[in-house]
Amino acid sequence: MVAPLQARLFLLCHLTMSKTILITGATRSGKSQLAEAKIAALGLPAIYIATAQVYDSEMAARVKLHKDRRGTQWQLRHAPRDLCTALDETDGGPPRLVDCLTMWLTNLMLDEADWQAESYRLADTLARMKTPVVLVTNEVGWGIVPETRLGRQFRDAQGIVNQRIACVCDEVYLAVCGLPMKVKPQ
């Protein structure tokens, strides 16, 4: 016989296991902190799937800030390009936080990979997840039109990726001044 507390925890875990959440917003809008709080509410330890690549000291400082804020109860998985494999290999374990889709897309585009196919693959992967996934992305189309061709292509691609991923997520939040505005479901 399962103890009442264990039964409630079992039920709670199974009710939330398939949840996928997308948190979007502008730079320094509080997206990562909101995503970390969502994951922490599910219970730690958790898995942090990092997509950034460190090429300079400024990026190293950003990564350190994120690591220091999270603390030691997070496992780290580095997936700058093959995000789907990282998600598949960690499914069934602790909840996962993907930070962020913008860096992932940047890596794909700079490698001249087929970002369209990869974004469809990611949507399919997320749709079959058993354990929670919270994803962070950026809204990059609210500013001025980028000066360069690559900048314009990236802005358009990020908008398309965000739409595809939002479609398969159970919840979508827009981060504004550190506050979550629920976009989906309404």
Q: What residues are labeled active site? A: 66
**Are 140 and 154 in contact, with CB atoms under 8 Å apart?**
yes
Residue 165 to residue 149: CA distance in whole angstroms: 24
